[in-house]
Structure 1
């Protein structure tokens, strides 16, 4: 066991799944949580973004 996914992380495909399933324009607030760099495209869709339990992007 390597701890890695056989086909890799979903990356940009994850955000495509969200867009296909939900009409984001119908929501006032959108929260997204990620823990890998591949989650960044999905985090970009949200108005409230958290990466590894911290608000993202982190302040400089």
Structure 2
């Protein structure tokens, strides 16, 4: 669904965000969203790396 937005849709979203939040708040909101996305990617990368390890390693008895 998000991949179907396109350039005109992104421009419309940015214009609406500019009107709603104003030019002073928009950089702060963008920075916060970028930080949140970076943290989310970092967390999911750690989870994916953990899940790629074998669940039950061979045990010597």
Question: The TM-score by the shorter chain falls in which range?
Answer: 0.3 to 0.5
> If the length of structure 2 is used for normalisation, what is the TM-score?
0.34
Q: Which has the higher strand share?
A: 1
Q: Which has the higher helix share?
A: 2
> If the length of structure 1 is used for normalisation, what is the TM-score?
0.34
Higher relative contact order (CA 8 A, sep 6+): 1
- When Rg is computed on C-alpha atoms for both structures, the one with the higher figure is 2
